[in-house]
Amino acid sequence: MKKAAIFLLMSSSAFAAQTVTVASSTTTPTAQTAPQAKKKAPQKAPPKAPQKVTVQKAAPQSAGVMNSVLKRAPKQALMTNAPAEPGLQAPKFGNWELKAQLRGTMTMANAEELQNEGGKNFGLSNEIRLGLKHQSGWGFNVTGSYQTDNYADPSGDAGTNGDASLMIIHPSIFKNATFDFHGVLRIYAPTSEKSRENDIRSASYYSFIDMTFAKRFSASNLTFIRGFTQPNPTDTSTQSVIVNALEFAHATTKTIALSFGGQFEADNARAGTSTEFDLYPFIDFTFIPNVLIEPKYYFPVYVGGNRQVNASGAALNQTQAELLIKIGI
């Protein structure tokens, strides 16, 4: 699950402007397009003199998972627990409050991709969300996104719209001073090129658990499930994705939180299931009110199954850096 840029993390109400996601920190749950083809396994020994690589835009796939941009989304949906100073307040309309967020994620290519002359440098994902939240805890927003892949050879650059979506936020199932269990239902519209061409429909549910402890420690857990349907699936078309991401944070100062997370993902298709487990340290910066800056570094420690989830193996040349930025009220 790697690639995605200005970022909306979900707070304990899945909407708060202070911190929120994906996911993702997945993790997250954002971009919403159909999946890319399986990545080639890394070479055991890279050639001493790399050959010129001709970069071509990938043809639309008939297979069905999310592409690597979307796979970061579950992490990005996670609340990061970073402290935030009061900033711009959202306008209210009776019992309703306006919520608007702009988020972006830049994910650098891994070492395997960067070693190719003219190969991929980084991916960008930009998403905007606009909605309302009721004082009862119910709320909704609509989202739109755009993703690009950028190469050392500019002729390979490619951009695409992601699937638009409607997110329905429900009140906490259980909440007290130190524990909050809540969730979000997300329904995607087939607005991306791949989803339109293959008539792919999908929906997902995010289940959040946020906990606070003594001495400014906290933890967040996200369980994310997304299902896909299409009229003519192949054996490699993804039918569902299941993700669980757990993060721990320490509010070191009023504007900095040091955090560490782990995420497990399983992509399920008729041909079998692919799995990946990542560990990722990250830091939350909230120097400016309403703005969260979050650099991360992902280490794939396990990759299994008969198809690649994202990393082609648990190796150092598959590690990736990511920068998330979120602005919201």
The helices-and-strands tally (H runs, E runs) of the chain is 4, 14
Does 61 fall in a domain?
no
Burial of 146 (0-12, 13-18, 19+ CB in 10 A): middle
Does 13 fall in a domain?
no
Range with top average pLDDT, 21-25, 48-52, 74-78, 107-111: 107-111
Kindly report, residue by residue over 276-315, the tens digit of the pLDDT.
999 999 999 999 989 999 999 999 999 988 666 667 778 8
Q: Can you give the pLDDT at residue 208?
A: 95
How many domains does the chain fold into? 1
Nearest CA to 187 out of 173, 206, 159 is that of 206
Q: What is the 8-class DSSP label of residue 30?
A: -
Three-state helix/strand/coil letters over 242-268: EEEEEEEEECCCCCEEEEEEEEEEEEE
Does 208 fall in a domain?
yes
* 260 pLDDT tier (thresholds 50, 70, 90): very high
| Across 153-165, average pLDDT | 87
This prediction's pTM:
0.74
Q: Is 291 helix (H, G, I), strand (E, B) or coil?
A: strand
Kindly report, residue by residue over 14-71, the tens digit of the pLDDT.
333 333 333 333 333 443 433 343 344 444 444 444 444 444 433 333 333 333 333 4
Does 55 fall in a domain?
no
Kindly report, residue by residue over 171-225, the tens digit of the pLDDT.
999 999 999 999 999 999 999 988 998 899 999 999 999 999 999 999 999 999 9
Cα–Cα distance measured from residue 173 to residue 206, given in angstroms and rounded to the nearest whole number: 13
Cα–Cα distance measured from residue 253 to residue 238, given in angstroms and rounded to the nearest whole number: 43
Does 261 fall in a domain?
yes
- pLDDT over threshold 90, residue 74: no
CATH number of the domain to which 114 belongs: 2.40.160.40
Does 17 fall in a domain?
no
Does 48 fall in a domain?
no
Choice between 184 and 118, residue whose per-residue pLDDT is larger: 184
Q: Which domain holds residue 260?
A: 68-328
Does 5 fall in a domain?
no
